[in-house]
Chain A
């Protein structure tokens, strides 16, 4: 399909399925009270992180959000360490200190999910500034939602990234609702990407249910950023099938609406297209599904069999000691 190789497409499908199954499994673990606190699922939105992250290099960076499991998985996150973190285990990404909202893997270039809406955007901008100062060629993708697009940090950071021509791509995962508030209620313009005009940078709205469209749009923005031409604001229109968090009773939208969006399911439609254009067989899809199931199962078992975070973890990471890595 276009410029994406078949091999890459299969990998993208794998990651999208992995995100979907991971979150379904996480939801089950939550229902069994094995995961506590809160959890924000991105089921339905998988095309955005996968399309975006595959459009960048592995060495590039991202900042993520409270709804960031997909970002971490697309970036190559270890499913075992993710489940272990959800279960509050020592072997988790953050040794059980962060949980679902604070997954990070610096070695993979994920500079962290964030529990505060809009807070990751200036951090990404600072990371992009550092890359520019260090004269590195890497770029930063910053993910945030339509809710964050109404935070002051969004405007301030877009402006700074624009005036300094920073190597950054702003990716708004517009899933139509900021908690219970529809975008139409709190955004006066037709598209969130229209706001880019105010900062003199390109703003593009893309179908966030179409992984190839996301890939192609982000690819161009990444290239622009890497060439030193500055940031782009991309709005990927997508939809979350589940509620905002575990407390959501879906009082603000209808089953019909959810059903309409499910018809545009990013995974089902991508499979269809792969069959049509790349001649991928049912058997091949089945093989991918099996392998995803195995990875999920291994991850859950690893997490269940890991030990609880130990008490000495409690004080260990509050401050960095001198000479510590």
Chain B
């Protein structure tokens, strides 16, 4: 069935709540209001106030309530209304959820999901538009998932709820209304598996979240110019499934990583480092490139906001530059 990303997420939560009495959702205004993005509209009526638990404006502590409930065998789904507000819950995520199992020598499990919408493109300015995955990428003990389409969103959310570790589940606001095929039958997408979403021989584009959609559109334009891009969606950012990327780069000899978060210290640097350390490095015909968000807070003005993150035309022109130039000849030319 053709379903929106938001509806797919909603189905995953609904089905898990029905299936497992330990699953419940907790967050701000998720009840009558249905959450800031309307994802849980109607769920309060269906499941009652205990399993769709509205909280006060207390992110630091309701995130911790999720941790405490999880160690007692519940499977809480915590909603952080905007990913930007995850800063309040940082101690509970970084110092507690991520480390509790390790610090106690494996005495407990933390089956906790923290769902949060992120990203720019809604004109909401610097405190409601950030990409936060880079903040958490170097925290061992966490898993980070960022689906790019309805099918993956549903399958990955179910897997996240069933996982015995804390999972940061990143949704993109601009994807909520996008549509895709979601089968009626029950399925899961495993955490830690990337996916080749388009095959091609000329350049490998690794794109995350909203950038998968933009890269696919860019690939259509590149095709018209005779360039075949291979697109890989990691789907899970931590742990990263690097092997399909290594294999792809060995085939295309070129790698471009596209992500929305600020370019410095982001997922792009991590992927590129791993390729630099792999045998794929020896196959390269062009430098390894990143297209990421500018190192600036997201501006309010819509034109400026657009300029702050990679757009389709940026992906097209970077891919053309990578494929079109003979980089080795350029070295001798410049020398």
Please give me the residue from chain A that is nearest to B73 by CB atom.
Answer: A130
Contact at A102–B104, with CB atoms within 8 Å?
A: yes
Could you tell me how many residues of chain A have their Cβ less than 8 Å away from some Cβ of chain B?
Answer: 46
Task: Sort A-B residue pairs by CB-CB distance and give the 7 closest, nearest first.
Answer: A126-B68, A122-B64, A94-B105, A156-B61, A130-B72, A156-B58, A126-B65
B93 nearest CB across to chain A (Å): 11
Hey, which chain A residues are within 8 Å of B66, CB to CB? 126
Is B69 in contact with chain A by the CB < 8 A criterion?
Answer: yes
Q: Name B61's contact: one of A96, A127, A160, A322 (CB within 8 Å).
A: A160
Query: How many angstroms between the C-alpha atoms of A122 and B143 in the bound complex?
Result: 22
Q: How large is the interface on B (under 10, 10 to 19, 20 to 34, 35 or more residues)?
A: 35 or more
Please give me the residue from chain B that is nearest to A85 by CB atom.
Answer: B105
Instruction: Given the known inter-chain contacts A116-B91, A126-B69, A160-B65, please indicate yes or no for A318 contacting B140, CB distance below 8 A.
Output: yes
B-facing residues in A81-107 (Cβ within 8 Å): 92-98, 102, 104-106
Query: How many angstroms between the C-alpha atoms of A105 and B50 in the bound complex?
Result: 29
- Of listed B70, B71, B143, B164, residue having the most chain A CB within 10 A: B71
Contact at A98–B70, with CB atoms within 8 Å?
A: no
Q: Which residues of A contact B (CB under 8 A)?
A: 63, 92-98, 102, 104-106, 111-112, 114-116, 119, 121-131, 133-134, 152-153, 156-157, 159-160, 163, 313, 316-320, 322, 324
Hey, which chain B residues are within 8 Å of A126, CB to CB? 64-72, 76
Contact string against A for B residues 15-53, beta-carbon threshold 8 Å, 1 for contact and 0 otherwise:
000000000100000000000000000000000001000
Is B55 in contact with chain A by the CB < 8 A criterion?
Answer: yes
Hey, which chain B residues are within 8 Å of A127, CB to CB? 68-69, 71-72
Is B296 in contact with chain A by the CB < 8 A criterion?
Answer: no
Query: How many angstroms between the C-alpha atoms of A127 and B72 in the bound complex?
Result: 6
Contact at B60–A153, with CB atoms within 8 Å?
A: yes
Is B331 in contact with chain A by the CB < 8 A criterion?
Answer: no
B239 nearest CB across to chain A (Å): 9
Contact at A159–B64, with CB atoms within 8 Å?
A: no
Query: How many angstroms between the C-alpha atoms of A102 and B109 in the bound complex?
Result: 15
B72 nearest CB across to chain A (Å): 4
A314 nearest CB across to chain B (Å): 10
Hey, which chain A residues are within 8 Å of B140, CB to CB? 318
Hey, which chain B residues are within 8 Å of A131, CB to CB? 72
B241 nearest CB across to chain A (Å): 15
Contact at B96–A116, with CB atoms within 8 Å?
A: yes
Hey, which chain A residues are within 8 Å of B58, CB to CB? 156-157, 159-160
Q: Name B104's contact: one of A104, A119, A129, A313 (CB within 8 Å).
A: A104
Contact at B100–A160, with CB atoms within 8 Å?
A: no
Is B165 in contact with chain A by the CB < 8 A criterion?
Answer: yes
Question: Can you list 14 A-B pairs with a CB-CB distance of less than 8 A?
Answer: A102-B103, A116-B95, A122-B62, A122-B92, A125-B61, A126-B72, A127-B72, A130-B69, A134-B72, A153-B91, A159-B58, A317-B102, A317-B105, A320-B110
